[in-house]
């Protein structure tokens, strides 16, 4: 890497500090993110996590020659079993449809696919291998058809989420199964009855616990040590704590994830999203009447570690910001040319723990310059936007793409209005403009004539 490149600093959840990011192998930066449990449509909270990963990986790809990004799919889970039963459909149908919808929703907001997207059910063997090793090394034990991880065998248990084992026990709100040696012990393998998906194993027919899949799949695709592991902050405990314990005990010479990234939660109108409050918003709900890019921009307006309050007003504002950006892109040079690199000022904001609000402020400055006629700034604006997955449209697509009104009819009315204006019949001219406005079409009289756009 040339020394002029801004250097990436990332907040690490384990040490609770922002530290320089130093790849284990600069030629292959390795990232693992916890993907969806596929039993329902993705909601905008899921989206925030996937988007944080997307921006991080896009930035890493800008800074380093190669990135391996792995994001799993959890397709074995008791919520899936319950939903399939409720829907009277097979688990295979439910998971296949949900995965398809998930991919569509993410693609709609320009989230790039991971390099590897492993499915839990395709890695049962790897999980069983790990469980076997953990039993052999004394970190796991069998009890009543279950295999449990013994948290007491891992000194550093609790270090990731920053809590002591005592804290964990004190507030436990779920009944502790009697076969656990320690209340904190968690399931690696559990028995399945005839109605429940299961796989044969040395411990009987059963299915994996929640955490072991990520340990098995990250190991398979990224090795004993990799650079970044991420997800929503609600995964920090117990999911990531348990993953880490399993993996570190199974592969004591590795360090598992060198760096932990967790995004903060999303609120809707100031409240946590929940089905009981009825404010549970799927990506699809939002995209029904909002351009996907506005949703993406809204989520990038807050730094990923800040709680973000999702509102319709915020969505509208994001759309207005894009109006201005695209207006600035109208100042791109006529003949297409390769874009310049995004300006260092912009990249260094992203390198400051993904400070997207400040990066967007840089883009506003570029937009100002572009609107003043600076074509280089216009090109830099597009390059900057593209780096974080924005501004892929042309201004024409942005301002007119969603319009359902016939363009020929609009042009005819514009011509008629022009004639009326020449005749100084402003009554007729304004009537035409109002007529179009009623259809959501805004006319703009400029030095080069009249143009139109969708409201």
Partner RNA sequence: GGUCUGGUGGCAGAAUGGUGAUGCAGCGGACUGCAAAUCCGCGAAUGUGGGUUCGAUUCCCGCCCAGACCUCCA
List the interface residues with RNA, window 388-447 (CB under 7 A): 421, 426, 429-430, 433, 442-446
Residue 231 vs 389, nearer CB to RNA = 231
> What is the size of the binding site for RNA (CB under 7 A)?
81
By CB under 7 A, is residue 368 in contact with RNA? yes
Least Å distance, CB 65 to RNA, is: 28
Least Å distance, CB 381 to RNA, is: 13
Bridge-based pairing of strands 449-454 and 441-446 is antiparallel
Q: How far apart are CA 441 and CA 455, in angstroms?
A: 6
Residue 126 vs 243, nearer CB to RNA = 243
Least Å distance, CB 263 to RNA, is: 6
Residue 64 vs 398, nearer CB to RNA = 398
Among 57, 91, 273, 351, binds RNA (CB under 7 A): 273
By CB under 7 A, is residue 34 in contact with RNA? yes
Least Å distance, CB 257 to RNA, is: 15
Least Å distance, CB 357 to RNA, is: 4
Residue 275 labelled as part of a binding site: yes
By CB under 7 A, is residue 242 in contact with RNA? yes
Among 321, 329, 388, 414, binds RNA (CB under 7 A): 321
By CB under 7 A, is residue 132 in contact with RNA? no
Only segment of 216-224, 249-257, 261-269, 377-385 that touches RNA (CB under 7 A): 261-269
Going residue by residue from 291 to 320, which x/- string records binding to RNA, judged by CB under 7 A? ----------xxx--xxxx-x-xx--x--x
Least Å distance, CB 338 to RNA, is: 26
Asked if 232 contacts 45 with a C-beta cutoff of 8 angstroms, the reply is yes
By CB under 7 A, is residue 358 in contact with RNA? yes
**Nearest one of 136, 167, 170 to 150, comparing CA atoms:** 136
Going residue by residue from 141 to 180, which x/- string records binding to RNA, judged by CB under 7 A? ----------x---------xxx---xxxxxxxx------
Residue 180 labelled as part of a binding site: no
Residue 396 labelled as part of a binding site: no
Residues 201-240 that bind RNA (CB under 7 A): 210, 231-239
Among 127, 257, 360, 383, binds RNA (CB under 7 A): 360
By CB under 7 A, is residue 119 in contact with RNA? no
Going residue by residue from 64 to 103, which x/- string records binding to RNA, judged by CB under 7 A? ---------------x------------------------
Please report, in range form, the residues annotated as the binding site for ATP.
275
């Amino acid at each position: 890497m040339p020394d002029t490149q801004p250097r990436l600093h990332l907040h690490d959840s384990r040490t609770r500090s922002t530290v320089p990011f130093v790849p284990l192998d600069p030629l292959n930066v390795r990232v693992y993110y916890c993907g969806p449990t596929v039993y329902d449509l993705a909601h905008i909270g899921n989206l925030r996590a996937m988007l944080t990963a997307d921006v991080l990986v896009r930035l890493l790809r800008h800074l380093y020659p190669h990135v391996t990004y792995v994001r799993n799919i959890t397709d074995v889970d008791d919520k899936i079993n319950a939903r399939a039963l409720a829907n009277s459909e097979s688990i295979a149908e439910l998971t296949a449809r949900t995965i398809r919808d998930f991919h569509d929703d993410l693609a709609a907001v320009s989230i790039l696919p991971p390099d590897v997207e492993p499915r839990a059910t395709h890695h049962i063997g790897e999980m069983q291998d790990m469980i076997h090793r953990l039993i052999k090394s004394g970190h796991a034990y069998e009890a009543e058809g279950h295999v449990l991880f013994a948290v007491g065998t891992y000194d550093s248990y609790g270090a990731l989420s920053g809590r002591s084992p005592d804290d964990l026990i004190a507030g436990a709100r779920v009944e502790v199964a009697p076969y656990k040696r320690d209340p904190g012990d968690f399931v690696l393998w559990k028995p399945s009855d005839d109605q429940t998906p299961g796989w044969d194993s040395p411990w009987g027919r059963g299915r994996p616990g929640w955490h072991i899949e990520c340990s098995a799949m990250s190991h398979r695709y990224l090795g004993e040590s990799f650079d970044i592991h991420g997800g929503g902050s609600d995964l920090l405990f117990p999911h990531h704590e348990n993953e880490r314990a399993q993996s570190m005990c199974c592969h004591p010479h590795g360090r598992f994830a060198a760096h932990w990234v967790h995004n903060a939660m999303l609120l809707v109108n100031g409240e946590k999203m929940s089905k009981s409050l009825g404010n549970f918003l799927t990506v699809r709900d939002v995209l029904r009447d909002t351009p996907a890019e506005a949703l993406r921009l809204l989520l990038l307006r807050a730094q990923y570690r800040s709680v973000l309050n999702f509102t319709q007003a915020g969505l509208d504002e994001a759309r207005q910001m894009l109006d201005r950006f695209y207006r600035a892109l109208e100042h791109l040079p006529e003949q297409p040319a390769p874009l310049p690199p995004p300006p260092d000022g912009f990249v260094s904001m992203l390198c400051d723990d993904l400070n997207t609000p400040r990066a967007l402020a840089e883009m506003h400055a570029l937009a100002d310059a572009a609107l003043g006629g600076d074509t280089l700034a216009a090109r830099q604006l597009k390059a900057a936007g593209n780096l974080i997955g924005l501004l892929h449209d042309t201004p024409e697509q942005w301002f007119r793409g969603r319009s359902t009104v016939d363009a020929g009819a609009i042009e005819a009315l514009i011509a008629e209005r022009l004639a009326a204006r020449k005749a100084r019949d402003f009554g007729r001219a304004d009537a035409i403009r109002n007529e179009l406005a009623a259809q959501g079409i805004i006319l703009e009289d400029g030095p080069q004539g009249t143009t139109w756009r969708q409201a």
